[in-house]
Amino acid sequence: MEQVNFLIDQATCVRDQAIISLFADTGLRLSELANINPGDIDWERRVIKVTCKGNREGLALFGERTEQLLKQWLSEYRANGLLWNLHFWGIKYMLDRLAVKTGLPCNPHTFRRTFASILAKRGVDMLHIKRLGRWESIAMVEHYTRSVRFEDSMKFYSAIVN
């Protein structure tokens, strides 16, 4: 989380901060994030409707800091269609520049892996991670959380027999 916060702080504008915060909070794929319209956001529930792989509809939850950054961006930019005034390659280019600037990996897959790993380290079970990240299978969640170690899981264990 320290690295995510550092990346947000190093971003050059509110739009880029909001993008990074949203990637980290939601585990969105680049195509999902690039195609968000302001009308897709449910501010009351902090949920964004997205179009997933295979043209499926999905939902992505976001937190308070992301909400603040999104609202700040929208107060500065009057969206006429897409939320960012950036397309797929523009977002990718911004992330690449940030990676060079910070020396940290900064790409959608890294944010997606971080999203899944942090949830797993917090004790969220694989089925919930699958649903929250809009994955099609538990196997994909396992692939994205392979950095979670036995020691990370130990804190959730309690003896069956007392």
71-78: which pairs have CB atoms within 8 A and are 24 or more residues apart?
72/14, 72/18, 73/14, 73/15, 73/18, 74/38, 76/14, 76/15, 77/15
Domain ranges of the chain: 2-154
Architecture in CATH of 2-154: Orthogonal Bundle (1.10)
Residue 19 tokens read as: 């993008």
Helices (H), the chain: 2-10, 14-26, 30-34, 64-76, 88-102, 108-121, 126-132, 138-144, 150-154
Q: What is the pLDDT of residue 154?
A: 57
pTM, whole model, 2 decimals?
0.86
Q: What is the mean pLDDT of residues 120-135?
A: 89
79 has pLDDT over 80 = no
Q: Mean pLDDT of all residues in the chain? A: 88
Q: What is the pLDDT of residues 16-57, one digit of tens each?
A: 999 999 999 999 999 999 999 999 999 999 999 999 888 889
